Amino acid sequence: MPTESFETGRPFIAGPGVPDESGGLPEGWEAPRERWLSTVVRPAFGPRSVLLEVVARLLIPAILVLSVFLLVSGHDRPGGGFAGGLVASMAYVLRYIAGGRQELIAGLPLRPNALLSLGMLIGCTAAGLPLLFGSPVLDTAKWELVLPVFGDVKVLSALFFEVGVYLIVVGLVLSVVAALGARMEAEEEEARTEQEQRIARQARRTAQRSDAVRAAESQDTPQPPPMNPGGETR
């Protein structure tokens, strides 16, 4: 019965293929991580595509690694914080398209706003830190390190600034996807659910009303049923 979920106070999720509370979909941002494109997938567009799911599953880690590569290699090769951020957000967009908004929510490490503020914080720190050492704003410093596995590594302080840009771009794209994609989808779904609930309630009410009428009619009969509580209160 579809009305059960609002007696228990749980958020109601409607639509085909929704399991009941024993394995209900987690709602909210704190959803567990391991449900990664698992059984219940409702893609943003059209029917489920197994091919897309498999490709997404295979590619997303690689895309994220690529984005980090673009970020750190930007100083010598094409790439940089902006491109890296775009690539990283592409991974999440792919995940959203393949798995729907629940998947997007489950896969986010942080809320988009938290990403944005973290990015602003890192960017501002990287910009302002040189002031403490008597250098101008956004001055760059260079460190040459010899690391055990990587060998000679060159670290530029501009990299931290690029990390800030990276995070801000990811945050921006995810806000837009959340607003224009997931939010709109959720609204459509809620409208659908409410419509269904209203119809169900209406049907129930007409049923109740006819019940009441029937009960009243039974009162008028000369021999009331002995177990009728309504008859006792009168």
Partner 1 sequence: MLLPFIFALHAIVAVVVPSLVRVMGSRAFLVASVPLAFSAIWVLTQAPGIVGGRPVVASVPWVPALGITFDFRIDALSLAMVLLVSGVGAVIFCYSAAYFHAGERALARLAGILVLFAGAMLGVVTTDNLFALYVFWELTSVSSFLLVAHSDHKENARRAATQALVTTAGFGLLMLIGFILLGQIGGTYRISELVANPPVDSPWLPLALILILGGAFAKSAQAPLHYWLPGAMVAPTPVSGYLHAAAMVKGGVYLIARLAPGFADVDPWRAMVLAFGLATMIIGAWRALRQDDLKLLLAYGTVSQLGFLTLLAGVGTHTAAVAAIAMLLAHGFFKSTLFLTVGVVDHQAGTRSISRLTGLGRRMPVLAVAAGLAAASMAGLPPLLGFVGKEAALEAFVPGHEAALSTPVAAVMLTGIVLASVLTFAYSARFVWGAFADKQTVSGFPFPKPSRPFIAAPVLLSATGLLLGVLPFAVDPIAQSYASPYSGSGYDYHLELWHGFTPALGLSVLLTAAGVALFWQRRTVTKVQNSMPSWPEAEVGYHLFIHGIYSTALQVTRRTQSGSLPVYLGIILATMLALPGVRLLSALVSGDVALPDNDTGLRLWDNPLEIVVALVILVTAVATVREHRRFPALIIISALGFGIAGLFVLHGAPDLALTLVLVETLTTIILVFVLRRLPANFGTRPNGWAKRLTVLLCAAAGSFIAVSLWVMSAARTSAPISEEFALYADEAGGHNLVNIILADFRALDTFGETIVLATAAVAVASLVLLNRRDRVVDETDDNDDIAVNETEADAAVLDGAAPNSVAFADSPADHPRKEG
Which residue from 31, 68, 114, 156 is in contact with partner 1, where contact means CB under 8 A? 156
121 vs 151, 167, 185, CA distance in Å?
31, 10, 32
Q: Is 100 in the site for partner 1 (CB under 8 A)?
A: no
Task: Please give the residues from 52 up to 81 whose contact with partner 1 meets the rule CB under 8 A.
Answer: 74-81
169 contacts: CB under 8 Å, gap ≥ 6:
81, 82, 84, 85, 86, 88, 89, 119
Amino acid at 17: G
Q: Is 192 in the site for partner 1 (CB under 8 A)?
A: no
Only segment of 25-33, 34-42, 101-109, 203-211 that touches partner 1 (CB under 8 A): 203-211
Query: How far, in Å, CA of 132 to CA of 114, rounded?
Result: 26
9 near 190, Cβ under 8 Å? no
Q: Of 206, 166, 4, 153, which Cα lies nearest the Cα of 70?
A: 166
Least distance (Å) between residue 177 CB and partner 1 = 7
Task: Please give the residues from 213 up to 232 whose contact with partner 1 meets the rule CB under 8 A.
Answer: 213, 215-216, 219, 228-231
Judged by beta carbon, residue 48 or residue 77, the one nearer partner 1 is 77
Least distance (Å) between residue 188 CB and partner 1 = 8
31 near 100, Cβ under 8 Å? no
Judged by beta carbon, residue 62 or residue 213, the one nearer partner 1 is 213
Task: Please give the residues from 22 up to 41 whose contact with partner 1 meets the rule CB under 8 A.
Answer: none
Radius of gyration, alpha carbons of the chain: 28
Q: Is 90 in the site for partner 1 (CB under 8 A)?
A: yes
Query: How far, in Å, CA of 166 to CA of 161, rounded?
Result: 9
Q: Is 177 in the site for partner 1 (CB under 8 A)?
A: yes
Judged by beta carbon, residue 223 or residue 233, the one nearer partner 1 is 233
Judged by beta carbon, residue 36 or residue 82, the one nearer partner 1 is 82
Judged by beta carbon, residue 143 or residue 151, the one nearer partner 1 is 143
Query: How far, in Å, CA of 198 to CA of 186, rounded?
Result: 18
Which residue from 31, 59, 140, 189 is in contact with partner 1, where contact means CB under 8 A? 140
Q: Is 102 in the site for partner 1 (CB under 8 A)?
A: no
Q: Is 234 in the site for partner 1 (CB under 8 A)?
A: yes
Query: How far, in Å, CA of 107 to CA of 130, rounded?
Result: 36
